[in-house]
Chains A and B, each alone.
Chain A
């Protein structure tokens, strides 16, 4: 399977614990995105990388959240001191940013998500 993979698929933790999620994008994709989706809502953007550079962070990404993409391949999202409000599906997506001259839209391919439950 050459799609986007995420690990773990499910995580149950107690309030106050730290958790870390991993995303492996499609191998040639240079952009990687993190989104959060709560029940009954569409995905909301958290942050994204182009290669190893973190280009944008949403105001949803509080100081307790940190994301890395150290070698421009896989990425990790860490949540420190988890709160019950952090319970959500965390989605990773990747895309290939083509040359600006190529035009068109660079499709984002989503992984299956990591479902976090904070007790």
Chain B
């Protein structure tokens, strides 16, 4: 079992829809949880991160962590075509290299 599991999709939604992206993880040592966005043929860029359990909101994006169920979510409100990308969840076991999920490819159709 991989330490971070993520449904690779692809996921296709109409513009304006609410998007829900999810990951599960197995390592109880994970404390920080990241969401990276990766456009085609580009490097990943950090979208947002959370520490331990709880929610964090940044504009149209909300990250949620439930440590009791080892479940990570990213919600995108009022999705736009420019949100079309691959979304990667990740966590560092300590202050060390990141462990990534496979990534979910999202297409927002105008």
Looking across the interface, which residue of chain B has its beta carbon closest to that of A91? B43
A115 to B41, alpha carbons, bound, how many Å? 9
Tell me if A112 is interfacial: C-beta within 8 Å of chain B. Answer: yes
Pick from A41, A44, A107, A111: contact of B43, CB under 8 Å:
A111
A28 to B44, alpha carbons, bound, how many Å? 20
Interface residues on B, range: 20 to 34
Tell me if B60 is interfacial: C-beta within 8 Å of chain A. Answer: no
Binds A, one of B63-71, B76-84, B100-108: B100-108
Q: How many whole Å from A116's CB to the nearest CB in chain B?
A: 13
Given A105-B49, A110-B43, also A42-B97 (CB < 8 A)? no
Q: A33-B97, A35-B98 are in contact. List 19 more A-B contacts (CB 8 A).
A: A4-B43, A33-B98, A40-B103, A42-B88, A42-B103, A43-B98, A44-B100, A45-B97, A48-B97, A56-B97, A91-B43, A93-B43, A97-B95, A105-B95, A106-B95, A108-B46, A110-B36, A112-B42, A113-B41
